[in-house]
Chain A
């Protein structure tokens, strides 16, 4: 079967390179970074770190080069998803497309362009070291499930999950993929912007009682929005936050949003706290602190321009 990875940055590359190891999968990668595309086509896509992999992947920056594919994995930054899926929608005329992007609201974006959508949440992480080479920082699980309002058939979800798992990326196909997604978005939305606004690492945020109380207040708003949708979280974000604050886990970790802010790159705020706020408004659940944090991060972004 043919799988197209849309957005072959760090996370996209983890899926692309691992899936391309399978005999029965042909992997295509769509990415706008031409030097990265050229390096992949010349020398293969290489992962290093948590796993050492070199794979043959057909990469292109021109969507018209892509053949029809049965499955898609969209792994762009959330704010680029709309343009990326608009350009590649024709590839999936008969296929199903999964989001593995951060935040909430991404499946809705995909569903505006393609018919069959898979809701996904993934925890593996890495970074682009140089064109064609990706550092695989952490392994982790992925959960896939049909997107409720415009679902892919369960067989397609299972087929993608099975391929990922066989390729070394443990993936579960479930009927309701919302709990891990909301657990992750609540975790990220309640911690990332606090690091980004203060400049503190995850551990230092958590050891300050006033900031830790703010994190809890943000978590509580996120939980209320999840509950209003009938979602039962699969784990308590609070425990995950405290676990990550331990010295041997992620005490010194600078949130990706803090890294974005330090590099003056646009953040994913609209899909984290902004996403929680949008769902909250639709459901009539107030999210004043998530709205405040969204406004502050957007103000910060505005200060660069």
Chain B
């Protein structure tokens, strides 16, 4: 039985999990900043937009101060994951952990720091963070979960049920990799192109009139990714090109995190997204010149901060 949940990392996604789950179970929150934990303790957490919630959570920036929990949802940014996982090392041996980072390899990073049973997850929900204690729930798209290593599907289904009961959307899969790879290819393409052009994920990404429109580039990047997935024996759950077209048709254009990161001169998740895809391509000996170019260009952009 899952009775106590800890959300590790209270950015937009972490806050959406915490704000909803606190309606149905005890929730604690591990924050990076002490002021953030203090604000949550004092004011609670408010969710607006597609949900309207005001909940109490127990927050701390120090894992030693957190109560034990049955499920930890690791929702920090990919770039913080190594540091966050190392603070969990040696603690909460009874807990099961779920990673929701973009890209590939989050489970491996966590595994290096402990023997917890792990759940793989990807989330499509999105929100806007208005303050440390208020997050707007924007897209009510689901979180998909799957077993990692020897975790049973039954336990994954239990977590999916819990998340669903809190008012979020969730679905358990026996094998998450087909969906994980669809999202990987989608993110590597869309986030990289957005970060380099400064465009939000808008109609430009699906325009295919001329060879030098963005549509043909997006399509070619997706095809490279799909060739890597095929060589790795993975049958994609969704066509990343269709995901792209669909997303550009929504009312307001999403600003991918990689775009927000380069605009704020912050490190991006390029390593766990584009880097991961390029390394997988090397592993299966598939040539991905365009994805490699995107990876080098985003890394170059990061280097230009200093």
Contact = CB atoms under 8 A, between A and B. Distances in A.
Nearest to A208: B300
Interface in A196-228: 197-200, 204-205, 208, 210-211, 213-214, 217
Interface in B196-246: 196-199, 204, 211-214, 216-217, 220
A303 B293 CA distance: 21
Contacts, number: 91
B193 A200 contact: no
A231 interface: no
A211 B214 contact: no
Contacts of B285: none
Interface in B266-306: 289-290, 292-293, 295-297, 299-301, 303-304
A292 B197 CA distance: 12
Interface in A171-198: 194, 197-198
B303 A204 contact: yes
A263 interface: no
Contacts of B295: 210
Nearest to B220: A288
Given A198-B303, A210-B299, A300 B196 contact: yes
A281 B217 CA distance: 16
A138 interface: no
B297 A194 contact: yes
B281 to A, nearest CB: 14
Contact of B217 (A194, A197, A292): A292
B297 A274 contact: no
A277 B211 contact: yes
B197 A302 contact: yes
Given A194-B297, A214-B297, A302-B199, A295 B216 contact: yes
B290 A289 contact: yes
Interface string B166-179: 00000000000000
Contacts of B296: 208, 210-211, 213-214
Contact of B199 (A198, A208, A292, A303): A303
A296 interface: yes
Given A302-B197, A302-B199, A303-B198, A292 B293 contact: yes
Instruction: Give the residue among B212, B213, B214, B296 with the most A Cβ atoms within 10 A.
Output: B212
A208 B304 CA distance: 12
B304 A199 contact: yes
A247 interface: no
A253 B197 CA distance: 22
B197 A299 contact: yes
Interface in B149-170: none
B296 to A, nearest CB: 4
A294 interface: yes
A57 B297 CA distance: 45
Instruction: Give the residue among B290, B295, B300 with the most A Cβ atoms within 10 A.
Output: B300
A198 B204 CA distance: 20
Given A194-B300, A199-B304, A292-B290, A299 B216 contact: no
A198 B293 contact: no
Nearest to B198: A303
Contacts of B213: 295, 298
A289 B289 contact: yes
Contact of A211 (B211, B216, B289, B300): B300
A299 B207 CA distance: 11
A293 B197 CA distance: 10
Contacts of B197: 296, 299-300, 302-303
Interface string A239-258: 00000000000000000000
Contacts of A274: 212
Given A277-B211, A303-B197, 6 more contacts: A194-B300, A274-B212, A296-B217, A298-B213, A302-B199, A303-B199
10 contacts: A214-B292, A214-B296, A288-B290, A295-B214, A296-B197, A296-B297, A299-B196, A300-B198, A303-B198, A303-B199
Interface of A: 194, 197-200, 204-205, 208, 210-211, 213-214, 217, 274, 277, 281, 288-289, 291-296, 298-300, 302-303
